[in-house]
Each structure stands twice: as structure tokens, then as C-alpha cells.
Amino acid sequence: QFFSQAQKTKSNSHFTCRHCGRSFCEKQKLQMHVEVHNKERPFPCQECGKSFTQQGALKSHMRTHSGERPFTCQQCGNGFTQKAHLKSHMRTHSGERPFTCQQCGNSFTQQGALNNHMRAHSGERPFPCQQCGKSFTQQGALNNHMKTHSGEKPYTCQQCGKSFTQKANLQSHMRTHSGEKPYTCRQCGKSFTHLYSLHFHMSVHTGEKPYTCEQCGKSFPTKQSLKVHMRVHTGEKPYSCEYCGKSFTHVYTRNYHMRIHTGKQLFTCDRCGKNLATEYSLQCHKIRHTGKKPFKCDQCGRGFVRKISLNYHMKTHSAEKCCKCAQCGKSFSHKASLSAHINKHRKPVGRASHK
């Protein structure tokens, strides 16, 4: 049954198992894989109850409980539970991307990542949430999504107590404590905490911006940055403060706001004693003490402390209006102006004024 369902899902010579979403380049390999779903699983994990078809698979799984990571990267020191995971990780250092999409040319470090990417072209989302109906391209993404309904956050930082729904998010968070930046640009040597930050940075060198907004024509280097930009047009604010309910467009602005309630001020200026919510804010603040304005406008010579302020200013010269209201079509040079305009649409109409 699994095979008859899986056989129907074929794109770019990839065969996908309908039961678990795993994809294969050859039909024969899919047939062999489907047998895994039909086999008995005589090797159960005594800690979580998950069962496996092979003793070796159970042994590998047990490392997720013990924390054992016997396969270590010689370049950055990261450890892995399986040799295959280390091999895939090494490509983040070498820059090797051997798996290429034949439709758009995007390359990937893993076959599985390419298989998942192919669903962006086919539109296939075979894993639906039974509670809200939202569908996903991967079983893992659905599993993570389900935690938003249950509120489960099983991964907790031992240093600050913050909890996360995914282990990968905890690992990423830990770098804020360690200062680790394992992803390095091979062209300029700059290092980054997250892989997506490196990908975004690479567009500085290549100039490539393959993702274009259909509403205003603005282009972006990553699909995620386009997705975030679209909230300018839709007015969507998906991140809510758990204390007061205020909503935000970006997760980092929500987190910044949350410190108003928690009183958490991590970064203090050693010259004036002012507390800042982020290290970047502290760096910008310290520049103000020096009087320096390192980011100069090449058209009028005006200087700015932050590059984002210069980018904002440059639109006054170009008269660029990148932010368009989806309701009335009016365009604005800045996101803040569009957001204020959208709020006018939301206000009740026809309310009598009282003097």
C-alpha cells in the first residue's frame, strides 16, 4: 500500500515515500525503503519507546539520549552522532553543494535537502496538521509545528533557562553564550553564527537576488527574506508578546520588546551606564560617544552611525517606493510609513466624533 501511494509522487526523477516523506532517486531504492514500514521493529528504546528494525539503528538512536557525539569536525569541533551527519556538515566548511536543482539551479549540501526543495516547485505538502489544517513539506516540520499547539518546549538552555521547541534552535541559541561562529565566507573570511546568515551575506559578493516580490518588484537574496518582506504588504504580525499580547512583524523585535516586561538588560555602556537590550545596540551606542559616523551618503555626504540608517536615508535620493499597500495601491519609501498607513485602513469607519 505504501508503495502504490509513493509511486504516484514523482518529480525531477525523485520517488517519494508517502508514509514518511523520504525521497529517492531510483524506484528500486524506494521499493527497498518501503519494506522498512512493513517490517517488524524488534529493537525498542528503553528510554522513549521508539522501535527500530536494526540493532545498529537503535545504537545510533541511543546517542540522542546519552549525548554521545563520537564523530567530531576537525575544523570547528562540532560533534555528531553519526558519521554521515559529519560528512554532510563538512560541506558547510568546504562550500561543496553537489546536489543541484534542474529547474532553478539552486544547489544543496544534501540529497534530502534537494528533495525537500523540489516540493517548492511542485507545491506538494504531503504532511497536514490534523488540528489546524496547515500542511508541510516534511514530517519533521509537522512534528515541530505540533509543539505550537501543545506548548511543548522540551529543550532548555542550562545557562539561562530559556526553552525551545526544537533541538536545533537550542543549539543555535547556545552560540549566543559561546560566541561561536562556525560558518565562514570563503571570499572575505567573515564568520557567522547561523548558516542562513552566511547565505544572506554571500549575496553581497554575487549580487544575486533571485526571489522577487510580485506586488512591488523588490528582489531578495533568500526566500526567507522575501517571506518577511511580504508582511509589509499583508500587515501580518505573527509574533505576539506573551505578557501583553502586542504583536510584531519580526521575532527579534518581539524579543526586544519582551525585555520591557522581564527587565532583562544584558549590555551596559561602560562610559555612561546606559543599559541596552542587544550587543549590536550597545556597539551603535558607543559610536555615539566617539562622535563618529562611519556610514556616509555618497550623494550628499551625510553621515550615520548605523548602516540601516544610511539605507533608509538613501531612499530620499532615489525616490524609491518599495512598499505598496495591498488594499489601495498607495506606495511608500519606508516600511514604517506603510505600516502607519495600513493601520488607517483598520480603524473603524463612520464613528461619530464628540467635541
Each of the 355 residues of the chain gets a pLDDT tens digit; together they read 444 344 444 444 467 776 666 667 777 778 777 776 766 778 888 888 888 878 888 888 888 888 888 888 888 888 888 888 888 888 878 878 888 888 888 888 888 778 878 877 887 888 888 888 888 877 777 887 887 788 788 888 888 888 887 787 888 888 878 888 888 888 888 888 877 788 778 877 877 777 888 888 888 877 778 888 888 888 888 888 877 888 888 877 887 787 777 766 567 788 887 777 677 778 778 888 888 888 888 888 888 877 777 877 777 776 555 567 878 877 776 666 777 788 777 765 444 444 4
User: Are β-strands 239-240 and 323-324 bridged in parallel, bridged antiparallel, or unpaired?
Assistant: unpaired
Burial class (CB within 10 angstroms; exposed 0-12, middle 13-18, buried 19+) of 237:
middle
- How confident is the model at residue 1, as a pLDDT? 41
Residues 53 and 37: beta-carbon distance below 8 Å: no
What's residue 268's pLDDT? 76
Q: What is the DSSP letter of 328?
A: T
Q: What is the pLDDT, as a whole number, of residue 123?
A: 78
List, in order, residues 6 or more apart from 130 with CB less than 8 Å away.
none
Question: Rounded to an integer, what distance in angstroms lies between the CA atom of residue 250 and that of residue 234?
Answer: 14
- What pLDDT is stored for residue 250 in this prediction? 81
Which pLDDT value is given to residue 265? 56
C-alpha closest to that of 95 among 201, 207, 222, 223:
201
Q: Which CATH number fits domain 155-234: 3.40.960.10, 3.40.190.10, 3.30.160.60, 1.20.120.160?
A: 3.30.160.60
The reported pLDDT for the residue numbered 320 is 52
Grid cell at residue 78:
562540532
List Cβ neighbours of 270 (8 Å cut-off, separation of 6 or more).
none
Question: CB–CB of 118/12 below 8 Å?
Answer: yes
Residue 132 makes CB contacts below 8 A (sequence gap 6+) with 149
Phi and psi at 196, nearest 5°, equal -65, -30
Q: Which CATH number fits domain 295-345: 3.30.70.100, 3.30.160.60, 3.30.110.30, 3.40.50.720?
A: 3.30.160.60
pLDDT value at residue 348:
57
Return the bridge partners of 276, or none.
267
Q: What's the pLDDT at 6?
A: 40
Locate CATH 3.30.160.60 in the chain: 155-234, 239-290, 295-345
- The per-residue pLDDT for 334 is 64
Task: Give residue for cell 509574533.
Answer: 239
> What is residue 313's three-state secondary structure?
helix
Rounded distance between C-alpha atoms, residue 265 and residue 2, angstroms: 54
Q: Which three cell numbers stand for residue 54?
A: 536494526
Which one is the CATH code of 239-290: 3.40.50.1980, 3.40.50.300, 1.10.357.10, 3.30.160.60?
A: 3.30.160.60
